[in-house]
Structure 1
């Protein structure tokens, strides 16, 4: 069979890639070796930035609101037990200054991974993605024109011919290993055991603390849906021992406790030394393994990998852009992963027991979520003198950063104008004429100040909602300036 893009791996990054590609009209097939999501929920707590991406594809409204958006779950305390004495509160990162600025039209998403993945899969299928669970890729080879993969489901192996392959096959990534792509970073740190259980313990969450370091036991946290996970030292435990540990962590033995499943977790940190090779692209944990952090630098970063790559693959496949546009995926996303790795170890995230903390300035989480800078050939005017991330109001519409959010009417954000194609934001008839000549959609808005523009300026926004170029004022020949910028940043074929 033939497909434009083959995605290997049906976790959050891979399923997001299938979703974003299908939404852009790309013929995409996904293969995942497991029949469904892991019974262990793993990640929980998706950022508002992830909410923005799901908002664009029509999925945000169907997700439950996150209690984490109101501070639930992100506070952590050391204690004798869940019901016992509480000692000092420990911060994963220094508390940020309270800001009255609203950075996003979206909120965080408080859904556990085992419940988020089916939502993404269902939406991807609705949009036309061919998702094949219980299907393993056995081998692959690439040539100048595409990728040939041998896969196997319940029957005999068969061949899939694809234009491109997205490897979202986890932190051990057989695809990455086959390509010989090395990784850099802290590497292996430690291994933990876990037990997932259900118990009626919501009354102990009323003060907003959702994470507990229980002296002499381990780390206890909740998924906010009646399920809890207790992280323990790495050794074998039988069920009576696990139940004893759970009761010790809770601090009472008169409640019903249902053990759901157990897990073994390898904590490591590494970033691939390149995110692509030929027609193969790495995404999610295959590209970067980042330990759990309050900043949400694991799953959320993988979803944004998929988002960044999807529009570029769509543009190349439909003939709008030259293949050189795909080179900007590594140029833009790998520095973000490296920055996240650095910031995790600059914080007191509990990982620095395995080594010295990074001696670098801490970057505010809002800057990491909404204010990372892309430097690539798909951006004009993002020089090396600029910091890797800062708050949106500090960027003020800087090319290479996510377009700023501001409400333009009730329920409609500036961000809702983007992601369906290239957009020129301005409020001047000459720019409107220039956009028509360039074949770029024109959007008139009055709040040009948040884009760092005068009343006669304009910003060119990419299909992923990032600013590619801006003209702070009106040049002598707006049409020529826009045409040059559009052709350069889009790797256009015209």
Structure 2
């Protein structure tokens, strides 16, 4: 067995959607990364299709532009006898929800099949310097105080060892890494075993009303039908029965209500509809992300794939900060503290909604349904990497109601910067950023960064970035003219002072040192 003895910074296990996203986010931050994936490429089944506004923001910052969806907001769903038969009713993902992301972001969510998105991520990861190794499986690993030693097996028989400072496990719901670490899971568990049929058929006329998901209800057939918006459709049934090709054709035509429909069968699948959250998202130098950390059933909020992509983004900036020496390893403890509550909140919200009413354990759900925009752009992080996010605050609320609350995503404000109209979100991404309308904070930041050895940028609001609307910054960020807001490299607010303290340099140095090193973990 050969060995690559010099430790690499990060090894990612799993080269599907979340693993590739982690590779992009790490490589974009200059972190050398190796990704191993036991398969040769993407699954024949497209799986995820909907990507939220926040996911599009994260990809955009890393240089990946995705086309916007034709329709804003979650996919529309109807309960029908069949496509060609009677349509009973349409119901929303969030009852009574107000209009969507207008004003909250420079972008909006999109729909693209996972097997179309993954090649885009691969190309960008390689362009940024990531080392992708398909047909390579993790067969064992150990960890000590210095690194993780992984045993890898290449299809064809070659086996070798690779050492990494840290390991990110994005190896799916049946994660080998999670099981080897002995990390348990909680949640609703397995809801059903689904069989799916992926096919092509000329059904575009049934999309004219904007509905793209259909619950089929017939006396002898209960199924779910949806489109990938590229000519491909998937039919899912809860009967765990093998069907031959003739039976598959029959079932598709029964669900569509079109007995003469020309159908091209592509592939079939068998998978568990389940909801499970890992008891912890990290163990030593190993971090769980995506389905390895939380298996969430498909839903119109996009809580599965998008939650995993946000995991990858969260852990990536923290690993980059620690590996560069900008932060201490204590910062990594905030990954579990921030991401696991998000997974649990989304788990609860899935089963509070009508899509999963059959799985509610009581006559009605006692969980309050949270607004779509609150769930997508208004969840709060509480950890040692945030100052001022108390436990009394709600887990999520609409972005405009937070008004710059520490622990929440920094708000979008339209500004003119470098001679062009931009979003304030474009100012965040790599380093810490201090925002203020008072130029005196520049000297305070210079003092703090010199004292702490951190990279940070001061943005003078009104000069470096001039809001297009009067008072837009003050209203969105909740600070007076002499106040300041500290934004983390992931675009979340770490600290804020509404007005200038007696000693701005001392206050900022203390705050930045605390959140950058997550000193509260000690």
Query: Normalization by structure 2: what TM-score?
Result: 0.91
Could you tell me how far 1:378 is from its partner in structure 2? 0.4
Bigger drift between 149-158 and 327-336 goes to 149-158
> Which residue pairs with 2:415 in the alignment?
408
Asked if 1:64 corresponds to 2:59, the answer is no
Deviation of 1:350 after TM superposition, in Å, equals 2.7
> Take 1:206 and 1:437, find their aligned partners in 2: how far apart are those partners?
60
1:222 equivalent in alignment to 2:232? no
1:168 match: 170
Tell me the equivalent position of 2:483.
Answer: 457
Q: Which SS does the other structure have where 1:92 is aligned? A: coil
401-410 or 259-268, larger mean C-alpha shift: 401-410
- From 189, 211, 214, the equivalent of 1:212 is 214
Note the 1:423-462 alignment, pairs <5 A.
423-439=433-449, 440-446=456-462, 447-462=473-488
3-state SS, counterpart of residue 67 of structure 1 = coil
Q: Secondary structure at the match of 1:350?
A: helix
Q: Distance in 1 between matches of 2:358 and 2:149?
A: 43
Give me the whole-angstrom Cα distance separating, in 2, the residues matched to 1:339 and 1:350: 15
Q: Is the 8 A contact 2:334 2:518 kept in 1?
A: no
* Equivalent pair of 2:377/2:409 in contact (CA under 8 Å): yes
Q: Between Structure 1 and Structure 2, how many residues are aligned? A: 489
The one of 313, 324, 327 aligned to 2:330: 324
Q: 1:100 to 1:93 in 2, by over 3 A?
A: closer
Cα distance in 2 for partners of 1:197, 1:374 equals: 41
Q: Give the match for residue 96 of structure 1.
A: 97
Pairs within 5 Å for 1:48-447? 48-60=53-65, 63-69=66-72, 74-98=75-99, 101-154=102-155, 155-216=157-218, 217=221, 218-232=223-237, 233-350=239-356, 352-353=358-359, 355-356=361-362, 358-409=365-416, 411-439=421-449, 440-446=456-462, 447=473
Give the whole-Å Cα distance in 2 for the aligned partners of 1:214 and 1:239: 21
Counterpart-to-counterpart distance in 2, 1:239 and 1:178: 39
Q: Could you list the runs of 5+ residues in structure 1 that have no partner in the other structure?
A: none
Instruction: Indicate conservation of the 8 Å contact 1:68/1:108, yes or no.
Output: no
* SS of residue in 1 equivalent to 2:258: coil
Q: Distance in 1 between matches of 2:421 and 2:439?
A: 27
Secondary structure at 1:252 match in 2 = coil
Counterpart pick for 1:15 among 5, 16, 20? 20
Answer whether contact 1:147 1:165 (CA < 8 A) is retained.
Answer: yes
Contact 1:44–1:112 (CA<8 Å) still a contact in 2? yes
What's the offset of the Cα at 1:170? Answer: 0.5
Once the 2 structures are TM-superposed, how far is the Cα of residue 265 of structure 1 from its aligned partner? 1.8
Deviations 1:46-68 (A, max 9, x none): 001000000100102xx222124
TM-score by length of structure 1 reads: 0.96
Which whole-Å CA distance do the structure 1 matches of 2:518 and 2:247 have between them? 62
- Alignment RMSD (CA, Å): 1.5
Rounded Cα–Cα distance in structure 2 between residues aligned with 1:107 and 1:4: 33
Structure 2 residue runs of 5 or longer lacking an equivalent are 450-455, 463-472
Query: What residue is the counterpart of 1:35 in the other structure?
Result: 40
Confirm whether residue 474 of structure 1 aligns to residue 500 of structure 2: yes
Q: Is the 8 A contact 1:198 1:258 kept in 2?
A: yes
* Superposed displacement of residue 472, structure 1: 0.3
Distance 2:447 2:146 in 1: 33
State the shift of 1:492 in Å: 7.9
The answer to whether the 8 A contact 1:81-1:249 is kept is yes
How many angstroms does 1:100 deviate by? 8.0
- 1:486 matches 2:491: no
Aligned mates of 1:123, 1:204 — CA distance in 2: 36
Rounded Cα–Cα distance in structure 2 between residues aligned with 1:465 and 1:348: 33
| Secondary structure of 1:305's aligned partner | helix
